[in-house]
Amino acid sequence: MTRTTIAEACETAIERTWFHLAGLALILVNAVALGLETYDPLVASFGPVIRGIEYVCLAGFVVELLIRFGAHLRAPAGFFTDAWNVFDLLIVVAPLLPGVRENVTLLRLVRLARLVRTFRLFPSLRVILVGIRRALPGLGSFLSVMVLVLYGYAMLGWMMFGDAFPAQYGTVGRAMLTLFLLLSLDGITDTLMTGREVTEWAVLYYVSYMVAACYLLTNLLVGLVLTALQEAHEEMAAAKQPSTAETQRLAD
């Protein structure tokens, strides 16, 4: 009997606006506390206070998680079907695990991961997420082409400049990093001029790379992201008006 009562109470709580706002407030306060910890003078004078705030936030996360779990009390397995619930659980439980507990870096990363929860609570952020997810298949083949072009140019670069500039083109891995950074066109003039002292082919090599990778492929990326975003917008708009579609179906 109590099980059903608790589950109902939890469900009611989750649907309330204050539950949502409290969740957001927890994340923001926690994020600010994490940020304040990077200011040494503040830590020196208010260290325990900041730590205390973080523990309160952690307690808040546990309570939020318990309420969410409570809503699934009639069928607890259903709780784990939502990937966000599993993610929240991991974030709360991870600092207690041996191996994580002693490692300052891992602990900090776990605490940082709590920022990701914002995406769960801000519905307007989901357009961006949906847009990125939509763009992934197109981005997959785009990245394949990009990697192919980078790899091909890296091999050519190694053949041309491997001996002259071992730090930049000594191995295919270094050459790929050099060419990836060159996508930003940062210092392209100097790079081309030093390359030209080795071989005149450097002009053709860098100019064709600029045209192919920096202009054509980068613009293709713009196009892919734009198309994906447009589809995401349409999807969100369609999801918002299911009733209209239904009404129309009934009218027919």
Q: Which residue ranges make up the site for its own copies (CB under 8 A)?
A: 31, 34-35, 38-40, 105, 108-109, 112, 115, 118, 122, 124-125, 127-128, 131-132, 137-138, 140-142, 144-145, 148, 151-152, 155-156, 158-159, 162, 170-173, 175, 177, 180-181, 183-189, 192, 203, 207, 210, 214-216, 218-227, 229-230, 233
Q: In the bound complex, what is the minimum distance in angstroms from residue 156's beta carbon to its own copies?
A: 7
| Calpha distance 58→53 (Å, rounded) | 9
Q: In the bound complex, what is the minimum distance in angstroms from residue 188's beta carbon to its own copies?
A: 5
71, 64 contact by CB (below 8 A): no
- DSSP letters for 55-123: HHHHHHHHHHHHHHHHTTTTSGGGGGGSHHHHHHHHHHHGGGSTTTTT-HHHHHHHHHHGGGGHHHH-T
Which C-beta is closer to its own copies: that of 5 or that of 144?
A: 144
| Residue 65, CA atoms < 13 Å, CB-side half-sphere | 19
Is residue 79 packed enough to be buried (19+ CB in 10 Å), middle (13-18) or exposed (0-12)?
middle
- The alpha-carbon radius of gyration of the chain (Å, integer) is 26
Q: In the bound complex, what is the minimum distance in angstroms from residue 184's beta carbon to its own copies?
A: 3
| Calpha distance 45→63 (Å, rounded) | 30
Residue type, 127: V
Q: At what angle do helices 125-161 and 172-182 cross, to 10 degrees?
A: 120
Q: In the bound complex, what is the minimum distance in angstroms from residue 92's beta carbon to its own copies?
A: 19
Q: In the bound complex, what is the minimum distance in angstroms from residue 189's beta carbon to its own copies?
A: 5
Q: In the bound complex, what is the minimum distance in angstroms from residue 20's beta carbon to its own copies?
A: 16
